[in-house]
Structure 1
């Protein structure tokens, strides 16, 4: 998995830097101040903070120095364009994961409310969907290291575009890790944490992990089968409580990702337009 490269400050720029460069630098620093952004509220806050960052990025792309640098340097243009594609991929991965979990939560809630017979079949479908989401996220994050790059252009506005991209990637990585977390103490979380470098999992509130724990999610198929049989004899009230808590969490994160996806598409279009000037 790509390392979560949180820093106390982003790249340092000289005092005579363009004001927009300083503004982006400040926004990036704010996003990176909280290293352990491992709750749904903190991640939603970071997603909302990206609105200010993209507002400045739009202005930066309108500067003649930025446009000239991208138009005259094909390698630099390709780097920035590939960066926008990287963000699109991560946004779509997060969007698909949240959408799939939202559907699975609704189906399991409906089954618990009906309470017709056991819940083994419905629970198994939820866990299967959960495993598929985790695998898709792990696959997306594993490919991040080879795709990350540092700007080869020494124009500060272009370098800051790459810095802003890096900050957005970190927020999306944090979100994907949050969605895929089963438990800070579980073996499945350790599989995720092995893909990280210099970053230890921190036990924090996680609505996804709460549902997994109430369903006794486990990597062993045999153990899952035994636990599911045990679950059918329970009232399902604990599971229902955690599912109710998870619903608004998914909704908030989904709204943030959908907004971000639209902005990434808009920014990518702006980059392409610069090349056509």
Structure 2
């Protein structure tokens, strides 16, 4: 009887051990889908691009979509209304088209290279016939919470050349660059703190160079993400002032402001 009881105990122990091992075994990681499609939409109190208002300090509705392949290649489109005071004679629309390749050479380090084109349907600088459309190539890297990215201009900087220069004409502005340094921290449940500083260089037109900054916090509520950020620049106010095309006043578009946003990614 004792032998039977001992045998039963041993069998029971092995059974419990097997169940424990099964329960403790890590679940197999979910397979990365070969194709991924996402969309996004947002409403903001002011559309700031590199710290400069694109909507004459008025609200904007924005949205786009992205496609990513498991190999690292991706394509996307993003759109926003812009002010006709800043982008004359057009549809009051900015359409961004981009594509690139992301890869991780080592753990926690992700690199990104791509092309970006800003398109403003119908818009041109005054009566010069010069378009605002702008093309750039970018290189970036993310390590844990820190991101560094550099954009290099392949075209004139949003139509800036002799015929459209707000200062003494000095040729084209191809080769302008922008350095973006940003950090994102999880400070609370579903709450992210963002710190950013950037530097814009305008080739041949150094008066237009400036530094911009952003301090923001965003909370994901599930149905949408609510964000609040302080954004500003040290841009020369006299050069970054936009006049109302109706002749009724002007606005300094690089001065600090608070931007409220509501966004959702699907």
Please report the TM-score for the alignment, with normalisation by the length of structure 2: 0.21
Please report the TM-score for the alignment, with normalisation by the length of structure 1: 0.21
The structure richer in strand per residue is 2
Greater length-normalized contact order (CA 8 Å, ≥ 6 residues apart): 1
